[in-house]
Structure 1
């Protein structure tokens, strides 16, 4: 979505559509900086690119020095790995490939569901340095798109553009002075909304079983302890100060109750369950349609 009345810069990257809205058109040089930020992130973290840093870890064990942003991503994943009992993990890549979500997008399972490796047995993540004791397929998709939105916001702020609105395939970051009303997509019908929420300064990110879904009930939110798609939750939204945290927590809500996440994070949340009922925090200020 675009910020009402602002100018939009649209492009595609990391498998999704982006739109950055600003009060005035962005200079060409700044647009190139934003696209370079996207390219640099993709070259480090994409498991679909054989030349990415993270793809090297899928071929051979060793230590890999990642971009500076890895220093924030690692602790976030470690915390959520612990809170979800290993269900949410960056080691989920091979499990996704097993079910057909691979570089070729075959969307055809090649075997029974595969649990992710145990973190402490194969992975040591300290700051920018990621060390693997065996080849592993890393996937940071649960938080990476949000972090990239934050990095683009930093580029805009460094250029003196304090007010901006970033839509990363439905994950939203609002750095404008005014709030924006956002429709919450129906988990079974993308042309309908189940409610509206007001997004002030900060981020709103969602996760849904109907996004990146294929085959017989397969989708991209897998339980790392089993390699099986989550069936009890169909959609979730999280609001936080940064898009990285909101993005990650919208996935974590598939595994743990939002009230438990609030013990560690400053987050407002909404979870829609497969039986039709919804749970939400008192500070998730919006309207759910009957």
Structure 2
């Protein structure tokens, strides 16, 4: 029996969730009532935010010819707070409105994987595509538009769902309702879950007593690891086009990691990783006066996996240092020449060819 199996012997799978599936490893078995609760949470997330569901709120926004007022569930406020921060930090290179660019590149709800012939004339903010800052009026969890807007929260939405699941595991007592559901079905049979790994296609929230070893996937060969990291209380996310790219008669390889400014896939980064510590205790609250939190919206620390997910995307695009430093996060990138760079003391170990060593980024800018 492996070390991980001994520590977390129970496995629960949601194979169709958010396109990648979600796997939970826990120290206690998940009873039917809690599983139903988690399934409801996942469905609520997708029905609000999935652009691949025709009945979702974001799908209605995309089909509204004159725009409108769209009330999202209250639990999306944290997601929208993170969107505000990442759009600002990346100077617009990350933008939920880039869903329109992804559709033009072939990654739309129909999954055609065929780029529109006139896409280069329309892609990105540079060609007048709506933006989060200029074309979305936000009032907490309500978004107001004046035209069709194609939102995509793939840069950090999956990490946000992982955090909601981890919170449900930690706080479930049978009468607790998660932020996405009104259910208060009593349950007296669920043993307290004190250790877990929530894994949504590589976006991982870990809370264990003993460290576990996580492989850093080689972007050129998913069967190989390019490094490892050992951790026990944090969230680790990665960005890479290795599992989501498509061939087309395009002048460059097409994938989903695009710079929202020009709408084009980034080609000089092969992979990125971001690690966010779990420094927020939902029972104790947040110390907003601490040095850690002074330059960061403290609400974002409630969602470490979403933060790591967004930071991995930002690092892939060449941004993210300010948020990383102000939140005690760390990260790493692998460029197209397979040179690794670490940021803010990322604790992973890389296995590089020809005796190469990962270099530490010490510049003030990225």
Same fold by TM-score greater than 0.5: yes
Does residue 79 (structure 1) correspond to residue 141 (structure 2)? The answer is no
2:309 to 247, 261, 265: 247
Deviations 1:56-102 (A, max 9, x none): 11111111111222211112111111121211011011100101101
Q: TM-score, structure 2 length as denominator?
A: 0.76
RMSD: 1.6
- TM alignment of 1:142-153, pairs within 5 A: 142-153=155-166
2:5 aligned residue: 4
Mapped partners of 2:147, 2:328: distance in 1: 35
Partner deviation per Cα, 1:125-158 (whole Å, 9 max, x = no partner): 2311111121100001111111101111111112
Question: Which of residues 98, 101, 105 in structure 2 aligns to 1:92?
Answer: 98
Q: Which has the higher strand share?
A: 1
Q: Answer yes or no: is the 8 Å Cα contact 1:236–1:253 preserved in 2.
A: yes
Q: Could you tell me whether the CA contact under 8 Å between 1:258 and 1:280 is conserved in 2?
A: no
Q: How does 1:132-281 map to 2 (within 5 A)?
A: 132-159=145-172, 160-216=192-248, 217-240=253-276, 241=278, 242-281=304-343
Give the SS at the match of 2:227. Answer: strand
5 Å-filtered alignment, 1:8-23, equals: 8-12=11-15, 13-23=17-27
Describe the superposition over 1:206-243 as per-residue Cα deviations: whole angstroms up to 9, x where unpaired.
01021211115111001111110011111001011311
Moved more, 257-266 or 220-229: 257-266
Distance 1:48 1:130 in 2: 19
Q: TM-score by structure 1 length?
A: 0.95
Rounded Cα–Cα distance in structure 1 between residues aligned with 2:198 and 2:49? 21
**Aligned partners of 2:237 and 2:26: how far apart in 1?**
20
